[in-house]
Amino acid sequence: MRKIKETIIEKLILASGLASIFFVVLIFLFLIKEGLAVFQSVTPGAFLFGKSWYPISEPAQLGILPLILGSLLVTLGAAVISIPIGVGAAIYIAEIAPARIKDILKSGIELLAAIPSVVLGFIGMVTLVPLVKSLFHLPTGLTALSGSIMLAFMAMPTIVSIAEDALYSIPKNYKEGALALGATHWQAIWRVMLPAASSGILAAIMLGIGRVIGETMAVMMITGNAAVIPQSILVPVRTLTATIAAEMGEAVVGSEHYFALFAVGIVLFVISFGINVTADLFLHEKQSK
């Protein structure tokens, strides 16, 4: 009887495990099926490198270069802001902070992760956007920079908690050895701990960036959504995610615009898949050491 129970539970768990892979494959097949249809009306080159996005004009202009660049610019900005702060916070929490402060900081960061993105977007819209506008004397504060700052807040919890784990899981004797050889605390962190945890920290960064590039609601609210090729970080941009979210409702099922949005989805899928695979590679490198 017990054995039967064991087997059933085992099979159930196996089924749940397979289900998640099955769903990913189904989602990808569906994306491909719907997305590739757009290439009947536009060549892949014109789609990826076209500079104008006017999906509802006659004839429609479906060039997503401004959207790709918009997404990349916002993500890059968020990375530049969140990586130093996030890794710094992780080092402080793992190595320097006294136990009490460590607990407070850790729960604080978990709280940050719990804020829904639409709330962050809303807060950004009423506080950050006017600030960016007056600080840089811009015609409008709805810019890539505002998006980057807000998204940095979203990437930070992921980066801090995974990087902190990576630092924490380094064998104690690494640090003790460094200190015994006469290194200062900072030298031990910089020369020994960080290199030892580097693959875990890189994975943390990649996962943080993965979250940023897929984020939709907050960027849609604060980046202005103008489909123009950005010349600087102080101009409005339109991201891939915001385009899908804003336009999917309009697109009539089976129309060129509808297929184009699915193709945008494929591009997004490929980008985040690439980021996750890279993160995975770093994590595995750490394990094989």
Partner 1 sequence: MFKQIMIPLVSLALASSCYAAKNKNSSSIQIKGSDTMVNLVQSWAEKYMEKNPSDFIAVTGGGSGTGLSSLISGTCDIAMSSRNIKEKEIALAKPKGIVPFELQVGLDGLAVVVNPSNPVDKLTLGQLSGIFTGKIGNWKEVGGHDLEIVLLSREVNSGTHVYFKEHVIRKNDPANKDEFSPKALMLSSSQAIADEVASNPGAIGYYGMGYISLKHKPVSIAANEKSEYAAPIIENVLNGKYPISRPLFLYTKGEPSGPVKKFVDFALSKEGQEIVLATDFVPVSK
Which residues of the shown chain bind partner 1 in the complex (CB under 8 A)? 11-12, 15-16, 52-57, 66, 130, 133, 139-140, 142, 220-221, 224-228, 235-236, 238, 246-247, 249-255
The Cα 39–Cα 62 span in angstroms is 10
Q: Examine residue 139 and say whether the peptide bond preceding it is cis (omega within 30 degrees of 0).
A: no
Supply the minimum distance, in Å, between the C-beta of residue 139 and partner 1.
4
Beta bridge partner(s), residue 224: 237
Closest to partner 1 by CB, 109 or 260: 260
C-alpha Rg value of the chain to the nearest Å: 23
> Between 97 and 228, whose beta carbon lies closer to partner 1?
228
Q: Which is nearer to partner 1, 14 or 80 (CB)?
A: 14
| Neighbour-count burial of 135, counting CB atoms closer than 10 A to its CB (0-12 exposed, 13-18 middle, 19+ buried) | exposed
Judged on CB neighbours under 10 Å (0-12, 13-18, 19+), 287 is exposed
CB of 227 to partner 1, least distance (A): 5
Least gap, CB of 237 to partner 1 (angstroms):
10
State the maximum Cα–Cα separation within the chain, in Å, rounded to a whole number: 75
Bridge partner residues of 54 (DSSP):
61
Do 134 and 64 contact (CB within 8 A), yes or no? Answer: no
Residue 61 CB, shortest distance to partner 1, in Å, is 8
Give 59 or 182: the residue with its C-beta nearer to partner 1. Answer: 59
For partner 1, which is the closer residue by CB, 52 or 276? 52
Smallest distance from partner 1 to CB 185, Å: 49
Residue 15 CA neighbour count, 13 Å, CB half: 6
Cα(66)–Cα(237) distance, rounded to whole angstroms? 8
Least distance in Å: CB of 266 to partner 1? 20
Q: Which is nearer to partner 1, 154 or 235 (CB)?
A: 235
